[in-house]
Amino acid sequence: MRDAHARLHGRGRARPGRPRNRLSAHVPRSAPVLSAPLTPLIGRDAEVGAVRDALLRLDVRLLTLVGAPGIGKTRLGLEVAGALTPEFEHGVFFVPLAPVREPGLVASAIAQALGVHDAGRQSLLDSLKVSLRNRRLLLVLDNFEHLLAAAPLVAELLAACPGLTVLATSRAPLHLGCRRWRCWWSGRGRSGPSLG
Ligand SMILES: Nc1ncnc2c1ncn2[C@@H]1O[C@H](COP(=O)(O)OP(=O)(O)OP(=O)(O)O)[C@@H](O)[C@H]1O
Ligand SMILES: [Mg+2]
């Protein structure tokens, strides 16, 4: 479990003699500590594999786990994020959005998870774009459903940052344009992801 957390938070992946990334001065490789699941993940092997495989495709930039409350979207997202950490050179970062009250605060929640600070001269969104522009990184945006008005901000980040992949969990779709960004998975059925 400790390993899974270390992976999820991007620790323990430094290569000797090589800086972790060129933008580490802007984005420290750390994220808020998550509480470890106390119980094992049950009956989701196929979904974990399918979502992981989809996110490894370079043409899949956004995948949203959609489903009713309590169906296990966050839990599945965490499992996949942990499994994928070795694949993302600049790490996997978890952004808990459930406590975020309004869409206008989403950029700040992402910045906080990434350790990006307001540069003063530019907007926080622009600071995020600069920091993420040359990175291969997975951002997990958890519980997006009450912040759907901020979905265009996610699209803007994806457009500006070619190495960025987003895994979102939401009770409702983000409606960002299937063809352009996303692979869709609905937690309502037992079916795996289908590419949009
Ligand atoms: N496959 C699973 N195996 C074991 N526990 C699970 C599984 N799926 C979900 N759970 C547990 O069920 C509870 C609800 O899951 P989770 O929080 O992931 O749901 P959710 O779909 O994200 O809900 P919400 O829409 O409210 O955010 C959690 O305690 C989680 O650990
Ligand atoms: Mg959730």
- Which residues have a Cβ under 8 Å from the Cβ of 96 and sit 6 or more positions away? 32, 109, 142, 143
Residue entry with tokens 């399918």 = 50
**How far is residue 180 from each of residues 25, 61, 132, 144, measured CA to CA in Å?**
31, 9, 19, 19
> What's the confidence (pLDDT) of residue 42?
87
> pLDDT class for 32, splitting at 50, 70, 90?
very low
Helix (H, G, I), strand (E, B) or coil at 125: helix
> What's the confidence (pLDDT) of residue 18?
35
| 160 assigned to some structural domain | yes
| 17 assigned to some structural domain | no
CB of 169 shorter than 6 A to ligand 1:
yes
Of the spans 13-22, 31-40, 51-60, 154-163, which averages the highest pLDDT?
A: 154-163
> What's the confidence (pLDDT) of residue 154?
94
Mean pLDDT rounded to a whole number for the chain:
78
Task: Report which bound ligand comes closest to the CA of 67.
Answer: 1
Residue type, 58: L
| 16 assigned to some structural domain | no
Distance from the Cα of residue 81 to its chain's centroid: 8
- Strand-pair partners of 66: 170, 186
Q: pLDDT, tens digit, for every residue of 43-84?
A: 888 888 988 988 998 888 899 888 888 888 899 999 999 999
| 18 assigned to some structural domain | no
Nearest-angstrom CA–CA distance, 191 and 178: 18
Total tally of structural domains belonging to the chain: 1
121 CA to centre of ligand 2 in angstroms? 35
The 3-class secondary structure across 93-120, one letter per residue, is: EEEECCCCCCHHHHHHHHHHHHCCCCCC
185 CA to centre of ligand 2 in angstroms? 15
| 71 assigned to some structural domain | yes
**Are β-strands 182-186 and 194-195 bridged in parallel, bridged antiparallel, or unpaired?**
antiparallel
CB of 46 shorter than 6 A to ligand 1:
no
Decide if pLDDT at 95 tops 60.
yes
**Going by CA atoms, what residue is nearest to atom 15 of ligand 1?**
72
Nearest-angstrom CA–CA distance, 129 and 106: 14
Q: Picking from 4-8, 91-95, 98-102, which range would have the lowest pLDDT averaged per residue?
A: 4-8
CATH number at residue 180: 3.40.50.300
- Ranges of H-type helices in 34-169: 45-56, 73-84, 106-114, 124-132, 151-160
| 179 assigned to some structural domain | yes
- Which residues have a Cβ under 8 Å from the Cβ of 60 and sit 6 or more positions away? 54, 165, 182, 183, 195
| 15 assigned to some structural domain | no
Decide if pLDDT at 191 tops 70.
no
Average pLDDT over residues 23-51: 66
The residue among 88, 83, 91, 84 whose CA lies nearest residue 11 is 91
The structure's pTM equals 0.82
| 51 assigned to some structural domain | yes
Average pLDDT over residues 132-155: 95
Which domain range does residue 179 map to?
2-10+31-36+45-195
> What's the confidence (pLDDT) of residue 54?
86
